[in-house]
Structure 1
Amino acid sequence: MEWVVVVPVKPAAAGKTRLAGVLGPADRAALARAMALDTVEAAAATPGVARVLVVTSDDELRAALPVVVDDPGGGLNAAIRAGLAQVVGPVAVLLGDLPALRPQDLASALLLAGRHARAFVADADGTGTTLLTGLVAVTPRFGAGSADLHEAAGHVRLDVAAGSTLRRDVDVPADIAAVARLGVGPRTAAVLSRTPVDEG
C-alpha cells in the first residue's frame, strides 16, 4: 500500500506561540521552519510513502519544497482539507512539528493504519493527534482534545509505543527537551545549537 502524506504548516511567524516565553519571534520562526523541513524529509524517506504534500502559505517553505498546496486560510483543519482535496487513495495527515521523527516509526504506524478504514496516533500525552489516516474520506478535527474527537468520529486509536518519535510533537519548552533526547533532524539541531531553550 502506498500513502500520500499531507503536512499542514502554519506560516512560521505565526507558529509556536507557546514558546514565546523562551524564544523571540525570529528564533521561533526559524525553529518552526526547521522542524517542518525535518518532518517532511523523514516522511519522504518513509517506506510506503509515495508523495508528501505540504499545505502552507509560508514563503520560505514554499521556496524550499517541491510540492506545496496553498493554504486557503481559516485554520489548521481548513488547511488539511485543502490538502486532502488533492489526494485519491490512502492518505495520512502528519503534523509538521515532529523534528525527531524517524522513517521507521512512521512506516510502522502506517502498516498498522492500513488495517483500518480510519485511524490515528495520539501524541505523547494522549490528548492530541500527530497522525490521522484514512483509506476512505477523513474529517480532520485537530485542536484541543483532538484524540477524543477523532476517536468519536470513528478513527481507531493505534497502539503505537509511548517512545515512538511519531508521538513527540513540539508545543511547549519541555517538548523541545524531549525531542532533543530522541535526536532531532539536522535543521532543527542547527537552530537549537545557536538558540538553546531553557525548558523552565
Structure 2
Amino acid sequence: MGEATTCWALIPIKPPGQGKSRLSGALDAQVRSRLVEAMLKRVADAARASPAIQRVCLLSDPELRCAAPLAVLNDAGGGLNTALEAAMATLPQPAPDRIVVIAADLPQLSPQDLTMLATVSPRTIAIAPDRHGMGTNAISLPITAAQRFRFQFGTQSFIAHRHEADRLGYSVETMLSDGLEKDIDEPADLPDAEVCLQEAL
C-alpha cells in the first residue's frame, strides 16, 4: 500500500438535538444527545490517535462546542452532500494530500481503522460500507479526487460512491472491519454502542 504525505479526517456532525431521531423509541432526547457526543468523542479520539492522520476537523455549525478541541469547518447547508462538496472546495490551505470523511456514530472505531483508510495508494478511493453493505460509513479520497467528487450519502450510497470513483478514473478499495461497519442508527444497533451508552445514561 502507498502512503499519503498528509491526511486529514473530516467528521460531519449535526447540530445538537438533531441527530439519531430513529432512536427516539428507545432513548429520550437527553440521552440521545449525550450518546451522540460520546460517539463523536470516540471517533475523534481514534482519528487523533492514528499516526497517519495529521489533523481532525468537524463539519458542522461553526458555533458547535464539543468536548474535544477540534477545528470546525462551516456546514454551508443544503444537506450533507452539498456541504461536503462546498467544504472540499474551501479547505484551509495548505490542503492535505488525502482526506477521510468518517461518520460520527462509530463507537467501535479504532486508530488502526483510520490508518487503514489513510494509507491506501494515491490513485485509490477507499470506501467503508455499513453493516448492511448499502450505506457508506467512511470514504478516503486523494484531494484531487475529493475536489471533483459528487458525494452520494444516503440510500445505496456505497454503490453510488463506487460508480463515482469509476467516473473519475480511480480504483476502489473496500474497507471492512467491525469498527467501520457498526454505525448506530436503529435501536437494534445499540448493543454495539454499549460503552458509549453507559456514558450517556
TM-score, normalised relative to structure 2: 0.81
Which residues of 2 match residues 13-24 of structure 1 at below 5 A?
13-24=17-28
SS in 1 for 2:8: strand
Match of 2:188 among 132, 153, 174: 174
Cα drift, residue 77 of structure 1: 1.5
Which residues of 2 match residues 17-96 of structure 1 at below 5 A?
17-57=21-61, 59=63, 61-62=65-66, 64-84=68-88, 85-86=90-91, 88=95, 89-96=97-104
Cα drift, residue 104 of structure 1: 1.1
The one-letter amino acid paired with 1:34 is A
The one-letter amino acid paired with 2:133 is G
Deviates more, 1:168-177 or 1:62-71: 62-71
| Alignment size in residue pairs | 185
Misfit runs of 4+, over 4 Å: none
Cα drift, residue 25 of structure 1: 1.3
Deviations 1:131-189 (A, max 9, x none): 1121122322111111011011126553434x431221111112221343xxx4xx554
Question: CA 1:4–1:24 in 2, change beyond 3 Å: closer, same or farther?
Answer: same
Which residues of 2 match residues 106-121 of structure 1 at below 5 A?
106-111=114-119, 113-121=120-128
The one-letter amino acid paired with 2:131 is A
**Structure 2 Cα separation of the partners of residues 50 and 8 of structure 1:** 17
Q: Indicate the percent of aligned positions where both proteins have the same amino acid.
A: 30
Which residues of 2 match residues 123-134 of structure 1 at below 5 A?
123-134=130-141
**Structure 1 Cα separation of the partners of residues 70 and 101 of structure 2:** 18
Q: Structure 1 unaligned segments of length 5 or more: list them.
A: 195-200
**Structure 2 Cα separation of the partners of residues 116 and 174 of structure 1:** 37
Question: CA 1:106–1:157 in 2, change beyond 3 Å: closer, same or farther?
Answer: same
Question: CA 1:36–1:58 in 2, change beyond 3 Å: closer, same or farther?
Answer: farther
Determine the structure 2 residue equivalent to 1:147. Answer: 158
- Alignment pair present for 1:190 and 2:195: no
TM-score, normalised relative to structure 1: 0.82
RMSD of aligned residue pairs (Cα, Å): 2.2
Question: CA 1:188–1:83 in 2, change beyond 3 Å: closer, same or farther?
Answer: farther
**Structure 2 Cα separation of the partners of residues 164 and 115 of structure 1:** 25
